Amino acid sequence: MTLREMREKQARLVTEARSKLAELTDKTDASRAAEIEAEHDAIMNEHDALEDKIKREEKLAAAEARQAEREAAGDDRRPNGEDRDSDAGGNEDAITYRQAFQDMFRAGGVVADMSAEARAVLQAGVVANAEFRQQVTSTDAAGGFTVPTELQDSLIKSMAAWGPMYDQDVGTTLNTASGSPIELPTVDDTASTAGAHTEGADLTDDGGKDVVLGKLILNAFMYDTEFIRFSMELARDSLLNFEQILSDLLGERLGRIVNQMLTTGSGAGQPNGIVTASGLGITGASGTAITSDELFDLQHEIDPAYRASPKVGWMFNDSTLKVIRKMKDGQGNYLWQMGDVKSGAPATLLSQPYRVNQAMADIGLNAKPIIFGDFGKYYVRKVGAPVIGVLRERFWPNLGIAGLIAVDGELGDTAAVKHLKMAAA
């Protein structure tokens, strides 16, 4: 299935999911309603699985493009790291015994269906072992030694979403070379206005409308992954680039802790997370459910000046998104709208974009599961770039690898971002 076909299938799935919810009416009995919701969830799970597959396909296509560029530039190394001229006789097209052995299995064991060259290579291997008896793979001496052990040069890695607070396009990013504190001046003059002037009267000069300034301080809080030690033999002999694997995994660990701190950090000895720093928008009527009216109310708790910002939007975790996808307004219109698959426009909630952040709380008593506002008013201070370091002398002959990152975050204007707080009971 091509990327275009997958996108088109996503659109059909959204239509199908909505038609399922359309079956729900006030007259639908509870058991049938539960069945419909389960069918809807299954359809949307398939939609999300397609989204993950699309991202993997796009990543693979990019990797293949890079590989093609390397080959075009003259890199003639095989995927497993062996040179092409390492085959017998220096012939880069020569078939090895391992390849011939694999060809036999692909041919279903029918040697006649193999190429003449593969048959010749396989036959040469048989002549070399001129002992005739029952040969089996289960016993090493009886043939098992000749069965190659294969390891795919890729790693199956468990995944969990951890973004998006470190992304450049969410908050306002300040990149600095040093970790010295940064002071940003702030001012809130929104409550002050001018007044009517009486002809001939002196202007009031009592300091009552002087501008009051404040400041925002951004520090540099350090986080580390601790050392992971691995042997020289593992680094040398592994088919995979083990050092690169560990580097990638440690980078994700740093990403997870930073996203968590920039989301729910307390502000005391750590970043002031955007949820922690946000102002109270509304308090929900329930501690276990949200309503469409509450989302409308939260959206309008933010001044229109902020709602016009290019970085305005919603933020919640995936389980909250699952609930929101089923919600309608008073006219029966769905609050969640799928984006334009042709132009790549993102999905929206009440005509505003949203971010899925797994560090945010689930819907529950006294929780803050949803925020809305101008994320551009949240400042993320990055000190240099995340560092992944490998020590070779300290652990010699083994190696050690660890990661470090320095970051801080603060909301410059609490009126710009507000949260929905669930009822306490």
Higher pLDDT among residues 58 and 155, named by residue: 58
φ, ψ at 238 (rounded to 5°):
-65, 135
The predicted pLDDT at position 94 comes to 67
Mean pLDDT of 255-260: 93
Share of the chain above pLDDT 90, in %: 38
The predicted pLDDT at position 124 comes to 65
Higher pLDDT among residues 401 and 34, named by residue: 401
The predicted pLDDT at position 118 comes to 74
- In angstroms, the CA 311 to CA 300 distance is 16
Highest mean pLDDT among 68-82, 85-99, 157-171, 407-421: 407-421
Residue type, 115: S
pLDDT in tens, 10-23: 888 888 888 888 88
- In angstroms, the CA 234 to CA 241 distance is 9
Q: At what angle do helices 30-72 and 3-22 cross, to 10 degrees?
A: 170
The predicted pLDDT at position 77 comes to 38
How far does CA 231 lie from the centroid of its chain? 31
Give me the residue spans of the domains in the chain: 1-75, 95-146, 163-187+214-425
Find, among 325, 294, 313, the residue nearest to 421 by Cα.
Answer: 294
- In angstroms, the CA 281 to CA 279 distance is 6
Domain 163-187+214-425: which topology?
phage-related protein like fold (3.90.1690)
pLDDT in tens, 274-328: 999 999 999 999 999 999 999 999 999 999 999 999 999 999 999 999 999 998 8
CA-to-CA separations, 219 to 85, 117, 260, 330, in angstroms, rounded = 55, 67, 17, 46
Confidence of residue 89 (pLDDT cuts 50, 70, 90): very low
The average confidence (pLDDT) of the chain is 81
The answer to whether residue 201 scores a pLDDT higher than 70 is yes
- Residue 312, both tokens: 């305005």
The answer to whether residue 361 scores a pLDDT higher than 90 is yes
Mean pLDDT of 259-283: 96
Q: Work out the burial of residue 93: count CB atoms within 10 Å of its CB; fewer than 13 is exposed, 13-18 middle, 19 or more buried.
A: exposed
The predicted pLDDT at position 376 comes to 95
Which DSSP helix (H) or strand (E) runs through 228?
A: strand 228-230
Q: Work out the burial of residue 138: count CB atoms within 10 Å of its CB; fewer than 13 is exposed, 13-18 middle, 19 or more buried.
A: exposed
The predicted pLDDT at position 76 comes to 43
The predicted pLDDT at position 131 comes to 45
Share of the chain above pLDDT 70, in %: 78
Q: Work out the burial of residue 40: count CB atoms within 10 Å of its CB; fewer than 13 is exposed, 13-18 middle, 19 or more buried.
A: buried
The answer to whether residue 269 scores a pLDDT higher than 50 is yes
The predicted pLDDT at position 130 comes to 44
Beta-carbon contacts of residue 122 (< 8 Å; ≥ 6 apart): 97, 100, 101, 103, 104, 111, 114
- Residue 137, both tokens: 């793979």
pTM: 0.65
The answer to whether residue 169 scores a pLDDT higher than 80 is yes
Q: Work out the burial of residue 30: count CB atoms within 10 Å of its CB; fewer than 13 is exposed, 13-18 middle, 19 or more buried.
A: exposed
CA-to-CA separations, 113 to 99, 108, 109, in angstroms, rounded = 15, 9, 9
Confidence of residue 83 (pLDDT cuts 50, 70, 90): very low
Higher pLDDT among residues 48 and 316, named by residue: 316
The answer to whether residue 97 scores a pLDDT higher than 80 is no
- In angstroms, the CA 89 to CA 41 distance is 60
The predicted pLDDT at position 115 comes to 75
The predicted pLDDT at position 132 comes to 42
Note whether 360 and 316 are within 8 A (CB).
Answer: yes
Highest mean pLDDT among 55-69, 92-106, 158-172, 298-312: 298-312
